[in-house]
Amino acid sequence: SAPAPRRPIRDLPDELISQIAAGEVVERPASAVRELVDNALDAGATQVTVRLLAGGVRLIAVEDDGAGIPRDELPVALRRHATSKITSLHDLESVATMGFRGEALAAIASVSEMALLSRTALQASAFMLDARSGELRPAARSQGTTVEVKELFFSTPARRKFLKTDATELAHCVEAVRRHALARPDVGFAIWHEGKLVEQWRATLSAEAGADDGAQQQALERRLGDVLGEDFIRDSVPVQLRLGAVTVTGRAGLPDAARSRADQQFCYVNGRFVRDKVLTHAARSAYEDVLHGQKQPVYALYLQIDPLRVDVNVHPTKIEVRFRDSREVHQAVRHAVENALAAPRAQALASIPV
């Protein structure tokens, strides 16, 4: 058959570029929830409320009490590659915020009907921007931001067809917030679905107590108990180890607490939830001698590493990271968990018959 006639090379329209980017960033409602909660936390929120309709497909509204977005910057926030978080390559290499790519709002807005409602401390009123029409008008709310995302994927029916039932999408949304909640006991979270409160985790650490290590550890344990259940605390031991440039804290489940599914394995790197083979493998190998068969250990591990030694700019969703020295990280995690499990308290607890 004859080859297709060649067409000229053209720049893609902006809107289409965002929609293509959205394919990577926004897979389902939970991905939008994660991005919006990231933004709320970056804005210094102490309370984040997520309201959903139809598993997030009809509506995702994320409300925070953070710094807010000034009126004049509302349209800028929606632009692709527009961010307040980094300004240089140097910033990128030591990034301390959840976001930095400046593409989440643009991507989500390109596949939904989005509205931003925000008020800074200096403004006498809030302002509301309708992303589609560009209309900007005064509105009512206290300091902070509400991002409303309606009819996700209405313009991309192919993506919409891949969505599961509302209950499944809701479960993914809850999981996304859970991951944030486990990293930030100092922030309160609430999730509503169809007008009903689904989950609520109150802030367990006041800003003033923040400096004290003991208070932080206590707050974390309370949050772990609130989110994962008191069983998780009862059947786990504290992890605390520093190896080279890596500090590992958190809790590791006793062998008896292992589950058939790997659904309670949480790893954080500098406060960011990550999925990483090095970390999973290291944790798993710490259980080598005490856990047999297919059982999956439970743990929540928090790594602190010099930001220069970890690259978070690997994937648009930033759920993957790359370590400069993955051997060191592996050793740190493995030893941290092994030591925790070998501690006398762990042995004593493990020997109590259930």
Query: Taking the complex as a whole, how short is the minimal distance between the CB of residue 67 and Mg ion, in angstroms?
Result: 14
| Cβ-Cβ contacts under 8 Å for 223 (sequence gap 6 or more) | 181, 182, 184, 185, 201, 204
CB nearer ligand ADP, residue 37 or residue 227: 37
Sheet with 299-305, strands from edge to edge, namely 236-243, 246-253, 299-305, 265-269, 272-273
Could you give the string, one character per residue 92-131, with x where binding to ligand ADP holds by CB under 6 A and - elsewhere?
Answer: -------xxxxxxxx-------------------------
CB of 62 to Mg ion, least distance (A): 11
Candidates 43, 48, 50, 104; binder of Mg ion (CB under 5 A) is 104
Contact 265, 230 (CB under 8 A): no
The interface partner of residue 316, options being Mg ion, ligand ADP, none and the CB cut-off 5 to 8 Å by kind, is: none
Provide the residue count of the chain. 354
Choice from 19, 110, 145, 204 touching ligand ADP (CB under 6 A): 145
User: Three-state SS for 266?
Assistant: strand
Among 39, 112, 236, 249, indicate the residue that binds ligand ADP (CB under 6 A). 39
Binding region for ligand ADP (CB under 6 A) out of 6-14, 24-32, 82-90, 175-183? 82-90
Could you tell me the smallest distance in angstroms from the CB atom of residue 313 to ligand ADP?
Answer: 11
253 or 316, CB closer to ligand ADP? 316
Place of tokens 């390109």: 110
Distances (CA, A) of 301 to 223, 251, 310: 14, 6, 16
Other beta carbons less than 10 A from residue 330's beta carbon: 19
Instruction: Give the residue closest to Mg ion by C-beta.
Output: 99
Ramachandran quadrant class, 54 (left: phi over 0; alpha: psi -120 to 50; beta: rest)? left
Of 104 and 279, the one with the shorter C-beta distance to ligand ADP is 104
Q: Does 264 bind Mg ion (CB under 5 A)?
A: no
* Cα–Cα distance, 16 to 31 (Å, whole number): 19
- Residue 333: name its binding partner from Mg ion, ligand ADP, none (Cβ under 5 to 8 Å by kind): none
Does residue 39 bind Mg ion (CB under 5 A)?
yes
- Residue with token string 């006793």: 254
Dihedral pair phi/psi, residue 251, rounded to 5°: -140, 145
Task: Select from ligand ADP, Mg ion, none the partner in contact with residue 300, using the beta carbon and a kind-dependent cut-off of 5 to 8 Å.
Answer: none
Binding site for ligand ADP (CB under 6 A): 35, 39-40, 43, 64, 66-69, 77, 83-85, 99-106, 145
Binding site for Mg ion (CB under 5 A): 39, 99, 104
